[in-house]
Structure formats: C-alpha cells, structure tokens
Amino acid sequence: MTSVAIRAGNHQYEALVGQKLIDTFGQNVAARIRAPVCAIISDSNVAPLFADRVDKSLVAAGFQPTLITIPAGEKSKTLERAGAICDQMIAAHLDRHSFVVGLGGGVVSDISGFVAAIFERGIPHVQIPTTLLAMVDSSIGGKTGVNTSAGKNLIGAIHHPVLVIDDVEVLKTLPPRELNQGFAEIIKHAIIADAEMFEALKDKVGQNLIPLIRRNIEIKATIVARDEFDKTGARALLNFGHTIGHAIERAGEYRDFLHGEAISLGMIAAITISYKKAGLPNDQRDAIADLLKKFQLPTRLPPNFPREKIFAALPFDKKFERGKVRFVLIPKIGSAHLSSDVTMDDIREAVDLL
C-alpha cells in the first residue's frame, strides 16, 4: 500500500492505493471518523460485487451501515435522485453525526459526494472508487455534482472526502472498454503536466497500476491545491478536452460514449485548436492521437453523429463565462494554459474534423 497526502485549502486527507484494501476498509475509517452510523451509496452494477465486503468490514469496525443502491449510469445523477437518497438516509436514522461511503465509479463519486455535502448541511464523505477513471479523477479534488437537462455537473458543491481507498484488485472486474476509458484521464494528466509520463505510456501499455495511479493523484492534487474553488484558472487546466467532451456526451444522450471516450474525442478537438492557436507541433499532435488509439479510445466521431447537438450543448458548459469559453490549450506535451481567444468558429472547425 502507498499513501498520497492531499491538501486543498484547510482540507487534508489521504488516498490509499494498494491491493486488498476493501477488507480493511472499516479499520481505516475508524482511525479517522467516530460517527457510528453511515450510508453506503453504490449502484446496481457495483453493489452486487463489493457492497457485502464493505458492509462486513464496517460492521467489524463497529459501524452501522445502510446500503442505498441507485441505477447504474449517468442518468442517475439528478437532483431528484439525490433527494431520494437523502430521504432514505433520514428513514435509516442518519443525522449530522453520520457519514457517507461512495462505492462505485464517477457517477457514484459525484452524487454520493453531493449528498454528503447537502445532508444536514454537510457530513463526512469517504470514497471507494471502483473504476480506474474514478481513482485518478473524480475521487480527488472535492468536486461533486448532479446534472440538469441543460448540461453536466451544473449543480454541485466542493466537498472534499475524508479518505479515498483505491483497491486495484477491483479493477480486475472491469471490462476492457471500461478500463481503457480511465486511461483517457491519465493521458490528459500527462499532456497537461507530465511529458515523462506521456513517454512512459507510449512504451509500456501494461502499466504497473499502483505507481501510475499514485502519480496521477499527485498531479491532480497539486493542481487542485493551487486553485481549490476553480477561481484563478489553475484548476481549469484539468478541463483539457472536457469542454467539447462534455458536449459530445450530452449530444449522445450519455449512451453513445463513456465519459473517458468522450474526453478522448474532446482532446482530439483540443489538440487541433492547440495546433492552430498555441503552436502545438504537428508531430506531438500525432503522438497524442496515436497514444489514445493505443488504448482503444476513439479519435473520430461516427459519420451519423448529431454534431449540431454538440454546438447546442456548448454554451451551457460551466467553462463558459459571459458567453466566452475558457479553453485549455497546449503549446507542447507537458504544458498547458488557459485561453479566452478560442472562438466558436475555432471549435466548430475542430469538431467538423472529428
């Protein structure tokens, strides 16, 4: 097991990365939280696999857990679902001295964190991410949220977890497509902040996951620490590929692409714009596309994809301010900056090439 210390503002917590951590989960929580009652929030895919082990570990450590299972998928990330979870927690006699365990991928991470942020005006949140994408991205940094009909994560709060448990054993249950989408966020981190990791990914597709996950947590935590509430623009660098990626997700009604796959497409569009606006060398643009392909991530939209829906979704993205987009550009692999010079015409041109 390895531990990563994460600091953001007044918040400090650990991410533990290793093998067979679920069975000692209760002990690790007991060392940090005294509250006796908790809710395990999971989804219909993950709960049958791991909820019983998490429950037994918590009970053995003296906790009284209640399992709340939601339907798997992005469409569960709604205010209505969050309210229903809160009602179930109240019925199970949770109160302000309770805590929430999020057991699942990015959807569970986002909604369980949001519920923890709003229940009784805020209770502790512990995360057990069960996808590679959630381990390196959504479980770190405290962003929580739900979707609206207009766009993704438009309602939410910053609510940092108390503890993150990354048990790499659970990744063995993932189908290849689900595992590969996690590499989209890993490649993103390499593109914006670590050229050395980018080269390592090119040479070693079969990565040792524990040090790789640790390095990605370090990258994200370092960026979050500089801009906890996404106010100065430093944290916005993590949105590389996400402006267009989120719009692609919504245009496909969250069915056509997994999150990481949509982000892969968003990054292809972003490097096209970076070539034009930031001087990204052509060979590096090709290297990024080649690396995404190596992990079986998409680099082209299907011919019949409703592209106009992408443009309709873009203005509702959180990264738009006063009608102008804050777009992340890369002048070279390992470096990124925020730009207000990218126009809708630039975006349209890049999407047309997908």
Query: What is the pLDDT at residue 319?
Result: 60
Query: What is the pLDDT at residue 318?
Result: 59
At 136-175, the pLDDT tens digits run 999 999 999 999 988 888 999 999 999 999 999 999 999 9
Under 8 Å CB-to-CB from 72, ≥6 apart: which residues?
43, 44, 45, 46, 107
pTM above 0.85, yes or no: yes
What is d(CA 48, CA 134) in angstroms, rounded to the nearest whole number?
19
Which CATH class name applies to 2-173?
alpha beta
At 89-142, the pLDDT tens digits run 999 999 999 999 999 999 999 999 999 999 999 999 999 999 999 999 999 999
Q: Which CATH number fits domain 176-352: 3.30.530.20, 1.20.1090.10, 2.40.40.20, 3.30.930.10?
A: 1.20.1090.10
Query: What is the pLDDT at residue 233?
Result: 83
What is d(CA 39, CA 79) in angstroms, rounded to the nearest whole number?
18
User: Hey, where are the domains in the chain?
Assistant: 2-173, 176-352
What is d(CA 273, CA 89) in angstroms, rounded to the nearest whole number?
46
Q: In this structure, are residues 165 and 126 in contact, taking their beta carbons and an 8 Å threshold? A: yes
Within 10 A of 316 (CB to CB), how many other CB atoms are there? 16
- Report H helices in the chain: 25-30, 52-60, 79-91, 106-118, 132-133, 176-193, 195-203, 209-226, 242-251, 259-277, 282-294, 307-313, 344-352
Q: In this structure, are residues 67 and 55 in contact, taking their beta carbons and an 8 Å threshold? A: yes
What is d(CA 153, CA 77) in angstroms, rounded to the nearest whole number?
8
What is d(CA 305, CA 262) in angstroms, rounded to the nearest whole number?
13
The reply to whether 176-352 shares the fold of 2-173 is no
Per-residue pLDDT of the chain (354 residues; tens, 9 = 90+): 899 999 988 889 999 999 999 999 999 999 999 999 999 999 999 999 999 999 999 999 999 999 999 999 999 999 999 999 999 999 999 999 999 999 999 999 999 999 999 999 999 999 999 999 999 999 999 999 999 988 888 999 999 999 999 999 999 999 999 999 999 999 999 999 999 999 999 887 656 899 999 999 999 999 999 988 888 888 999 999 999 999 999 999 989 999 999 999 999 999 999 999 999 999 999 999 999 999 999 999 999 999 999 999 887 765 666 557 789 999 999 999 999 999 999 999 999 999
What is d(CA 179, CA 206) in angstroms, rounded to the nearest whole number?
12
